[in-house]
Amino acid sequence: MLNLSYAAHTKYAFALTETVAIAELLWQGCDRETIKHRVIQDDLLQMRAQTSRRGAFQTIWQRLEPLSTDYIKLIATGNADVRRFTVLFSILLEHRLLRELITEVLLDKLKQFDLIVQRADLRIFFEAKREASQTLSKWSDSTYQKAASNAVLVLVGAGLLQPTQLRGTYEIRATPVPLVLKQQLITDRLEPILVLMLN
């Protein structure tokens, strides 16, 4: 179920509201073409440009398509925390760089009882990844910078990182995963994802 390849996630970081809107239509039984029409023609997501609508639909559809109806239901009908964590789960499935950022920076710091992620921590992580991976080394500087920035924005959107007053510095926030999602992940034998959610 986990995507093991690196992909350049450069747009629509967390997109909670937009993901919920599309999940609600899916949960109501709408098919892909109907939802696509609602997003692009009817401007469901309230985006001015057609290209933005298309891009957002594509990103969110890729995120939701692999999920079982159990997870679609949690995004469509859950409370704010359930929705937030289930959207994070959907992103973690497809976003290898994000999984590695959590494992190698956030979890490593938590083991040392250090709750502060500094700009230098992020720079060292991203530079090391780029040097170690042939795929990442082929990305242009702007693509790589956007993908790195996007990964951090996902963690902020999910509530795992909280920006501090010092620019480029974040505090790690470990919040319990809502029980209904936790039980679903355990049922589906996806406990490693709970660790990535800092549970």
Over residues 178-199, mean pLDDT: 94
> Can you state the percent helix, strand and coil of the chain, rounding each to 5?
65, 5, 30
Q: What is the pLDDT of residue 144?
A: 86
**What is residue 2's predicted lDDT score, i.e. its pLDDT?**
78
- Largest Cα span, the chain: 51
Answer yes or no: pTM beyond 0.85.
Answer: yes
Q: What is the mean pLDDT of the chain?
A: 91
pLDDT at 67 over 80: yes
Asked whether the beta carbons of 10 and 143 are under 8 A apart, the reply is yes
Mean per-residue pLDDT, 30-37: 92
**Cβ distance 72 to 26 under 8 Å?**
yes
Contacts of residue 123, Cβ cutoff 8 Å, sequence gap at least 6: none
Domain boundaries, the chain: 13-65, 79-199
From residue 100, alpha-carbon distances to 28, 121, 138, 193, 197 in Å are 35, 13, 19, 12, 12
Range with lowest mean pLDDT among 4-8, 9-13, 137-141, 177-181: 9-13
Which pLDDT score is estimated for 7? 81
Q: Using the predicted structure, report yes or no on whether residue 19 has a pLDDT greater than 90.
A: yes
